[in-house]
Structure 1
Amino acid sequence: MIESQPHISQKPIQFERKSPKKQKKSSKDRWSVAEIEALYALPFSDLMFKAQTIHRENFDANKVQVSTLLSIKTGGCSEDCGYCPQSARYETNVENEPMMPMDEVLKAAKAAKAAGASRFCMGAAWRSPKDKDLKPVLEMIQEVKKMGLETCATLGMLKDGQANMLKEAGLDYYNHNLDTAPEFYGDVISTRVYQDRLDTLDRVREADLHVCCGGIVGMGESRAQRAGLIAQLANMEKQPESVPINLLTQVEGTPLHGTEPLDLFEFVRTIAIARITMPKSYVRLSAGRQSMHEG
C-alpha cells in the first residue's frame, strides 16, 4: 500500500461481489502485453462498456465494500522506493514513529467499523519484519478479528514461516504490491528486486492467505509498461483476490516528486482494464482516486 499518511487513510473503495453461483468463469487464462495494449487503444466509451458488463456479471453494481488502512508503524523504512515518503533516505513531512499501542489500533478499528468499513488493513513501514516485530501485530490481528472485521496487513517482505504465523493469528489478506512492470521496476526501486516481491507473494499463497496485490501508475512509466503491470497481475497462477490500482501521490522530498502527472482518463482506463482482465478480483480504488472528479 502506498498511502503515506500516518494513522487512518481515507477509505479505499471496492465493489461487493455477487454470490459465487452467479459468477461466470473467465473466458481467458493468459493475457499478452499486446492484448492489454489493444484494450487501452479502444474508444473510451467502448472500454467503459466492456468493463461495466464484466463487472455486473460478477459483482452487485449497487454495492461497494469499504476498507480502512491504518499505519501502525510510520516512517523510518530502509528501502529507497522513489514514491514513498516513509523512506528514511528522504527528507519529507513524515516522521519516524514507534508502533502504535494496541488500544489506539482497536479504537481506530472500532471507528472504521462504525463508519461502514468491513475490512481493516494494518500497515508498517518495514523492509521486512523481524519475528519479534510480528508478535504485537499478531495480537492486533486477533483483536481486530474479534470485532467482526476482515483483516489485512502490509508489512513488507515476508520470510519463511511468517505468512503462516499471520494466518494462524486470523489474518485474511496480505498486501504486497508489484508496483509496476518488471522493465520499469529498477527506475523506481533499487533496494530489492522484482523477484523478492514474487517470493513474498508465493509465501502468502502457500500459507493459504488471500492476496492483495496491485501497483502504482503515474510514476513516469509508458503505456506499454502499465500494460506490463496488468499482465503480471492477470497472469498469476491464481489472480489476486484484491487488486489496488493507485495513482502516484507526489510528496515533496521524494525522487518522484515533480513527475509529469498521468492523464486522469488513462488512470480510469487502467482501472477498467484491471476489471476486464481480472473479472473476479476486487479492484480497489486507493491512492489518487480523490482526483478522479477533476477529469
Structure 2
Amino acid sequence: MQPQQETFTREQVRALYDRPLLPLLDEARRVHLQHHPDNEVQLCTLLSVKTGGCAEDCGYCSQSSHHETKVNAEKMLDVDEVLASARRAKEIGSTRFCMGWAWREVKDGPAFERILTMVKGVKELGLEACVTAGMLTDTQAARLKEAGLDAYNHNLDTSRENYRSIIKTRTYDDRLRTIDNVRKAGITVCSGGIIGIGESANDRCEMLRTLANLSPQPESVPINALVAIEGTPLANMPPVDPLDLVRMIAVARILMPKARVRLSAGRTSLTREAQMMCMYAGANSIFYGDTLLTTPNPEEADDLELIRAAGLNAMPPQVEGAPTTHTAAE
C-alpha cells in the first residue's frame, strides 16, 4: 500500500518559505539528492506553434488579444515545420519538446487533429512530448494520451486569492479542472507559476501549497520570473530579486521532492551564479534555445557553458538502444 501523501497547511508552507536562506538551501539540497541524480539537468525546447491572438487576458502575456503588444496573431505552424524544430532540438541535446498554442481552450476539429499528428511525430523522434494549449476536456485529454503525449502544461500562475487580479477570462477552478482531466487520462502534469506579478509572499506560498497538495503531485513544476513586456498590464513591474527565485525553487523542491523543478522564464535577467544557486536549490531542468514562446532565452552556447561550469551533465535521451550522455563539452 502506498503511504498517504502529506497535506500541507498554510502555516507549514509559510514557515518553510520564511526560513533563513542558507539553511533552506541545505534542506532543499538534501531532499534533491534523495530523489534525483546530483549532476543531471534536463534540456527542454519550447516552440510556439500558434502565436498571438489569444482570447485570454492574462496580464503578463504578450500573446493576449486584449493587449497592445508587438506580438501579432499568426497562423498555426504546419506539421513539417514543427517536426523540423523537434529534430533540431534533439540534435542540440534536448530530450523534451514542448509545443505551445496561444488558445483559451482546445477545440475539436482539424487543428486538434494536427496537434495529435505533431505529438505522434515528436514521439517517433524519441523525444518526450509536452503540449500547452489552454483548457482541455476529458475526451481531448484521452485522445492526447492515445497519441503518446507525455505531459500537459497548465500553470496555476499564482494563488487562488491573487488570480483574479491577473486573469479575469477564466477561473482558478477552470485551471484545476483541466489539470484533473489531464491526470485522469494518465498524462503527467506540468504545472507551476510566475513570481514578480505583484503577488505577496503568501500568494507564492499558496500557489506552491496548492500544487503540493494535488494527489498525486505534479511530475513537473516550472518556476518562472516575470518577463515584463511592453503593452501588457504588468509592463512596469520591478525586476524579480534573484534570491526570491532561489527561495521559491528550494521550497518547491522540499514540498514536491520527486518533481522535476524547471528553471523557466526570466533567466536572461539572471547571472550565471544566480542560475547555479537555483540548480543547487533543486532546479534540474532548463528551457534550451534562444526563444521561450515569444520571450528571449539565453543562447545555447551560454547554457552549455553554464552546465559545464556547474559540473553538470545534460540528461541523456530515453530512447531505444544505449543512451548517450550529452555533456557541455560536446
- Which amino acid in the other structure matches residue 136 of structure 2? L
Q: Does 2:134 correspond to 1:156?
A: yes
Residue 17 of structure 2 corresponds to: 40
Select which of 235, 238, 242 maps to 1:257. Answer: 235
The reply on whether 1:58 has 2:66 as its aligned counterpart is no
1:57-136 alignment, distance < 5 Å: 57-132=34-109, 133-136=111-114
Provide the rounded CA distance (Å) in 1 between the counterparts of 2:250 and 2:238. Answer: 22
Shift of 1:28: 6.5
Cross-structure match for 2:148: 170
Q: Secondary structure in 2 aligned to 1:66? A: strand
For residues 50-101 of structure 1, the C-alpha deviation after alignment (integer angstroms, 9 at most, x for no partner) is 1011001110111111111111000000010000000011111111110101
CA distance in 2 between counterparts of 1:28 and 1:262 reads: 32
The runs of at least 4 consecutive aligned structure 1 residues that moved more than 2 Å come to: 25-28, 289-292
Give me the whole-angstrom Cα distance separating, in 2, the residues matched to 1:279 and 1:26: 15
Q: Distance in 2 between matches of 1:260 and 1:92?
A: 19
1:249 touches 1:287 (CA, 8 Å); kept in 2?
A: yes
Distance apart, 1:130 and its partner CA: 1.0
Which residue of structure 1 aligns with residue 216 of structure 2? Answer: 238
Matching residue's letter, 2:216: K
- 2: CA distance between counterparts of 1:291 and 1:60? 27
Structure 2, unaligned runs of 5 or more: 275-330
- Alignment-derived partner of residue 185 in structure 2: 207
Once the 2 structures are TM-superposed, how far is the Cα of residue 243 of structure 1 from its aligned partner? 0.4
1:220-279 Cα deviation digits (max 9, x unpaired): 100011000010000011100000011111100000110122221111100110000000
Q: Aligned AA for 1:218? A: G
The C-alpha deviation readout for 1:179-221, integer Å capped at 9, x for no partner, is 1000000000000000000110111011111000111111010
SS in 2 for 1:161: helix
Q: Secondary structure at the match of 1:211?
A: strand
> CA-atom RMSD, angstroms?
1.4
Q: Distance in 1 between matches of 2:92 and 2:70?
A: 28
Match of 1:229 in 2: 207
Task: Specify the alignment match of 1:9 in structure 2.
Answer: none
Rounded Cα–Cα distance in structure 1 between residues aligned with 2:4 and 2:252: 15
1:110 aligned partner, one-letter code = R
* Number of residues of Structure 1 aligned to a counterpart in Structure 2: 271
| Residue 275 (1) aligns with residue 265 (2) | no
Deviation at 1:291, TM superposition (A): 2.4
Q: Distance in 1 between matches of 2:10 and 2:253?
A: 16
Q: CA deviation at 1:282?
A: 0.4
**Distance of 1:144 and 1:37 partners within structure 2:** 40
In structure 2, what is the equivalent of residue 5 of structure 1?
none
Q: Is the 8 A contact 2:154 2:191 kept in 1?
A: yes
- Superimposed CA distance per residue, residues 22-48 of structure 1 (whole angstroms, 9 cap, x where no aligned partner): xxx999611112211112221111111
Write the distance in 2 (CA, Å) between the matches of 1:268 and 1:203: 31
In structure 2, the partner of 1:217 is: 195
Q: Give the Cα–Cα distance (whole angstroms) in 1 for the partners of residues 5 and 32 of structure 2.
A: 15
Please say if residues 26 and 279 of structure 1, whose CA atoms lie closer than 8 Å, have aligned partners that are also in contact.
no
1:7-26 aligned at under 5 Å gives the runs: none
What corresponds to 2:124 in structure 1? 146
Cα distance in 2 for partners of 1:238, 1:76 equals 34
